[in-house]
Structure 1
């Protein structure tokens, strides 16, 4: 049952990873709320301290505030912490313009919730189990739900290990996501040194530079001199590559298709698309 809840009684989800921005999209949402009201109710749960915790609907609440409304229509659900966390992530993760740091934190929160809810073994027990690698992993479960591989989920989660300054550079697209995965393996003090080096050299690391830093960090040889040497070296032009994994492509083909058959089909589709473009340009 949908009920109107006063905005003053609504509280944000703890450690909510998705920022609520006053951007063009929020302006459009606010104008829609002004004209039509809130079309999709929020999902909230009761708080022990009183009021309600928003599980899904942080942007709708802010739009109501901007529109001058005093209440938000919502569904009240009695959810445990882990179920609420999973629902919070799932209701937001498909939005456009999600920052890498937001996606990373969201995946991490959902992964931890799934593991707790499933009663998974501790990390130490998992690492010591010879059979664990054969088991279906929680990050693979998240990836399957998102249409991506478990490796991609693990890479995104690694971004939560970046110091705030480097996370901001990734969000601002000063550092690409792929080298950021490598940088995340550096120790916090090495990352702090990298921030200083980036500012002094006015350059950010490429994938190959980040890989070299990670290797030196693992061998205990990364310091101010070696980092400066890597960062001051002229970057080799990196070849643009598009990598489409089997996990990405598989959902578009029948299960009976072999990798060879998938490749042939893709080439045929691209050739047909190219001919269509050529005909369009000749008109």
Structure 2
């Protein structure tokens, strides 16, 4: 079949689905605590009033439903707001891809405990190493080659001199 540029672009565009909260399960080994604190209550109030503004990311769970990769706080706030569904982008991700997305989406939060942040960096490092991603692609003639840990540190807002 022939397709136009527009229909090809539509096929590649990710779809946002309204998925029942009961079909969304937490990411295995999710290291971040989801607390019912004041910030959570504010998020629930916002969701009650405006809905979830940014879709969560999930992947199909072989045992049924979906595994949340990013959006655990939005999921909990949606429950507290009395919602039955939330917007989700479903992606086919392997464990390493899902771990990297989960870690990166949570490292943006300012309220992480130092232990959560450290464990998250460790998870990301292990996922990158497991993927076999080349992190030493800088030529020694141009600059020093970087290890996976150095690459993560270089891209991190956390300074090793302040931690």
TM category, shorter: 0.7 to 0.9
Cα separation, 1, equivalents of 2:158 and 2:32: 20
* Aligned-residue offset at 1:135: 3.9
Which protein has the bigger helix share? 1
Select the residue among 64, 83, 105 that pairs with 1:91: 105
Cα distance in 1, alignment partners of residues 113 and 154 from structure 2: 21
Structure 2 gaps, min length 5: 1-14, 135-143
Structure of higher CA gyration radius: 1
SS at match of 1:146: coil
Q: CA RMSD in A?
A: 1.6
Q: Which has the higher contact order (CA 8 A, sep 6+)?
A: 2
Q: What is the deviation of 1:109?
A: 0.5
Structure-1 residue corresponding to 2:47: 33
Q: Following the alignment from structure 1 to structure 2, what is the Cα–Cα distance between the partners of residues 38 and 113?
A: 29
Query: Equivalent residue for 2:64?
Result: 50
Structure 1 runs (4+) greater than 2 angstroms displaced: none
Residue matched to 2:90 = 76
Q: Distance in 2 between matches of 1:148 and 1:28?
A: 27
The count of residues paired between Structure 1 and Structure 2 equals 139
Aligned positions of 1:23-172 closer than 5 A? 23-118=37-132, 135-148=145-158, 152=160
In structure 1, the partner of 2:11 is none
Instruction: Output the TM-score relative to the length of structure 2.
Output: 0.81
TM-score by length of 1: 0.47
3-state SS of 2:36 partner: coil
